Structure 1
Amino acid sequence: MELQQLTKGIRTWQQRPEWFFNREHTDSYEQWYEGRYKRAEVWQKKTIGSLIKKDERIKTLLEFGCGTTRFTRWWHNIGIQATGADLSPFMLGQGRHLFDGNLALADAHYMPFKDKTFDSLAFITTFEYYRDPIQVIREARRVAKHGIVFGMMNRNSPKFIRRRVQQAFGKNPFYVTAHFYTPDSLISKINEALNGENYSIEWTCTGLPKWFPVQQWGMPYGDFFALFVQFK
């Protein structure tokens, strides 16, 4: 009853319709990863883990845009205690049955957490949807002690063109409002948001064709990239 009251009338965010407020999509979200996206998920986790585990200070993490907690459940596999937050009550309704940790219904532009509550903050395929990325990065810096990790759909990928073509024909509702980044364009936003801070940035790409000789590399090409901002 409580969740029904929260979700009543919710259809838009940032004055625009979003797929994650549509039960038709959120109820089947987990199935995507169990099917054709399973291989991609494995490599996404490898790239993210390879970066964040270099900082031994990180023991706790807040994942914003946690959705059904697909990645939130995974963090403990690499020794990190995770909390999830998301704006979509439909996604969190799914996650509540799959994840036994803490979850919060919240907007990343206004994070309801005290300064430096977590060692790190993570955005996994969700940062693409924020209308004010500078404000979100600054909020993440306020809440995180040691770093911010991003898992991003890469603009430097043939799949970017395919998604936009699908969208033009009304076949792909998931990326209509998404802004795709490259490593360089995301770094530019980070530098603008964190001007005056002392930090380093490292990134790596994956999402390459099966036949390609490597599946993770330091070139800015591939369907997915992981980027870690480490605070000094």
Structure 2
Amino acid sequence: MSELIKQETFEVAPEKLRTWQGRKEWFFNRDDTDHYEQYYEGPYKEQEVWQKKTLAGLIKQDDRVKTLLEFGCGTTRFTRWWHEIGLEATGGDISPFMLAQGVQLFGGDLVLADSHNMPFKDHSFDALAFVTTFEYYQNPVAVIREAVRVGKYGIIFGMMNRNTPKLIRRRVQQAFGKNNYYTTAHFYTPASLKDLVAEALPDRKYTIDWNATGLPKWFPKQQWKVPYGDFFGFHVKLLDV
């Protein structure tokens, strides 16, 4: 896969490191990006276990998928993990601050690029992955179309769910400037993401499968096909290739 990525030196103007899509984003703020890995190693670690189980259960149902490009890979938290379940993963991100950490943690290929214009030929990978990053795209339809151009067999999404009691907490934190991670995020449900995929891919044949997780510890199930929970995995499997 390394032949797909060229080594380049990126010189980015200071103002470009503060904004993207015409707005300030947390992933261009060192105060936020420097603590990203610590966030997963702290109270979020148990939720991460179930998120990975959910994503693995979906993507492994398509035995055509051997290679994967994760866009919005950040520090490569999940990019490293795809290898653990037998997938050859490459990472892409728009944030040089996140990738600067990623290159220290991940031995595979990484590319600094915009998800709306991925620097890869058609069908360079078997699948595309977006893990808690799709929520930040202002033109999600364009990103989906770009994803199926580069990913031959489909897309796997890991999403922060709008259908969760924690949505109120997220919005309160946002209103008081206590959590920069959610300031520009748009939260989806399985139903709203399904509608978005239909808008983006009107002429394609595909199936959709999803599972929700991120349920309270006391709850008898930690994964289910009910659209409630802090997180859901969502797999678009293309059939017309």
Tell me if both proteins adopt one fold, taking TM over 0.5 as the criterion: yes
Are residue 17 (structure 1) and residue 43 (structure 2) matched? no
CA distance in 2 between counterparts of 1:60 and 1:169 reads 42
Q: Which amino acid aligns with 2:121?
A: K
Q: Which residue of 1 aligns with 2:47?
A: 40
61, 66, 71: which one pairs with 1:59?
66
Q: Which residue of 1 aligns with 2:126?
A: 119
Are residue 8 (structure 1) and residue 14 (structure 2) matched? yes
Alignment of 1:135-174 (within 5 A): 135-174=142-181
Q: Deviations over 1:35-89 (max 9, x none)?
A: 1100010000000000000011100000000000000000011110000000000
The number of residues matched between the two structures is 231
Q: Using the TM superposition, give the Cα deviation of residue 7 of structure 1 relative to its aligned residue in structure 2, in angstroms.
A: 6.5
- Is the contact between residue 63 and residue 84 of structure 1 (CA under 8 Å) also seen in structure 2? yes
SS state of the match for residue 78, structure 2?
Answer: coil
- Is the contact between residue 7 and residue 90 of structure 1 (CA under 8 Å) also seen in structure 2? no
SS state of the match for residue 233, structure 2?
Answer: strand
Q: Which residue of 1 aligns with 2:56?
A: 49
- Is the contact between residue 208 and residue 236 of structure 2 (CA under 8 Å) also seen in structure 1? yes
Q: Which residue of 2 aligns with 1:134?
A: 141
- Is the contact between residue 64 and residue 122 of structure 1 (CA under 8 Å) also seen in structure 2? yes
- Is the contact between residue 32 and residue 180 of structure 2 (CA under 8 Å) also seen in structure 1? no
SS state of the match for residue 157, structure 2?
Answer: strand
- Is the contact between residue 208 and residue 222 of structure 1 (CA under 8 Å) also seen in structure 2? yes
Q: Which residue of 1 aligns with 2:3?
A: none
Q: Which residue of 2 aligns with 1:74?
A: 81
CA distance in 1 between counterparts of 2:9 and 2:38 reads 23
CA distance in 2 between counterparts of 1:160 and 1:66 reads 24
- Is the contact between residue 84 and residue 103 of structure 1 (CA under 8 Å) also seen in structure 2? yes
Alignment of 1:78-227 (within 5 A): 78-227=85-234
Q: Using the TM superposition, give the Cα deviation of residue 5 of structure 1 relative to its aligned residue in structure 2, in angstroms.
A: 4.2
| TM-score (normalised: structure 2) | 0.94
- Is the contact between residue 7 and residue 89 of structure 1 (CA under 8 Å) also seen in structure 2? no
SS state of the match for residue 73, structure 1?
Answer: helix
CA distance in 1 between counterparts of 2:9 and 2:142 reads 28
Q: Using the TM superposition, give the Cα deviation of residue 6 of structure 1 relative to its aligned residue in structure 2, in angstroms.
A: 3.4
CA distance in 1 between counterparts of 2:114 and 2:12 reads 14
> Which ranges in structure 2 are unaligned for 5 or more consecutive residues?
1-7
Runs of 4+ in 1 over 6 A off after TM superposition: none
Note the aligned Cα RMSD (angstroms): 1.2
Q: Which amino acid aligns with 1:190?
A: V
Q: Using the TM superposition, give the Cα deviation of residue 166 of structure 1 relative to its aligned residue in structure 2, in angstroms.
A: 1.1
Question: What is the percentage of aligned positions where both structures have the same residue?
Answer: 67
